[in-house]
């Protein structure tokens, strides 16, 4: 698992929000843990760039879309970053997870 401090995480999100690309974006997953509980915050890109996107939140096996954007670049990244910061403020430990690692964790 990739460990990031809050400042590095926010910086990473801002860089991702500012970059645009002609290739499909890779979804970003943040795993938050508190005691024996787990929460997953995903930024899901459904196009070739930073939009359209959704911020999805998985809690107790149920996934909900909290925010989405069709045109505003950086919207999903900013909302996800703010939500991760709230989780950290509530005592959760949150880490950005590589997709290969996430596949391994969910397969176990």
On the question of pLDDT at 95 being above 90, the answer is yes
The predicted pLDDT at position 24 comes to 62
CA 84 – CA 81 distance, rounded (Å):
5
Q: Which of 27-31, 40-44, 54-58, 97-101 has the lowest mean pLDDT?
A: 97-101
> Beta partners for 21?
none
The percent of residues above 70 in pLDDT, for the chain, comes to 69
Determine contact, residues 9/84, Cβ cutoff 8 Å. yes
Q: What are the tokens at 104?
A: 């391994």
Task: Tell me the per-residue pLDDT of 48-93, one tens digit each, with 9 for 90 and over.
Answer: 889 999 999 999 999 999 999 999 999 999 999 999 999 999 999 9
Backbone torsions φ then ψ of 94, nearest 5 degrees: -120, 140
| Residue where the block lists tokens 């998985």 | 58
Residue spans of alpha helices (H) in 19-98 = 75-89
On the question of pLDDT at 23 being above 90, the answer is no
CA 57 – CA 55 distance, rounded (Å):
7
């Amino acid at each position: 698992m990739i460990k990031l401090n809050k400042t590095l995480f926010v910086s990473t999100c801002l860089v991702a929000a500012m970059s645009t690309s002609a290739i499909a974006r890779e979804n970003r997953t943040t795993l938050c843990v508190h005691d024996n509980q787990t929460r997953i915050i995903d930024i899901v890109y459904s196009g070739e760039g930073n939009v359209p996107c959704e911020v999805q939140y998985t809690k107790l096996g149920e996934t909900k879309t909290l925010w989405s954007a069709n045109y505003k670049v950086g919207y999903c990244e900013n909302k996800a970053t703010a939500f991760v910061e709230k989780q950290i403020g509530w005592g959760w430990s949150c880490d950005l997870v590589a997709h290969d690692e996430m596949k391994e964790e969910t397969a176990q």
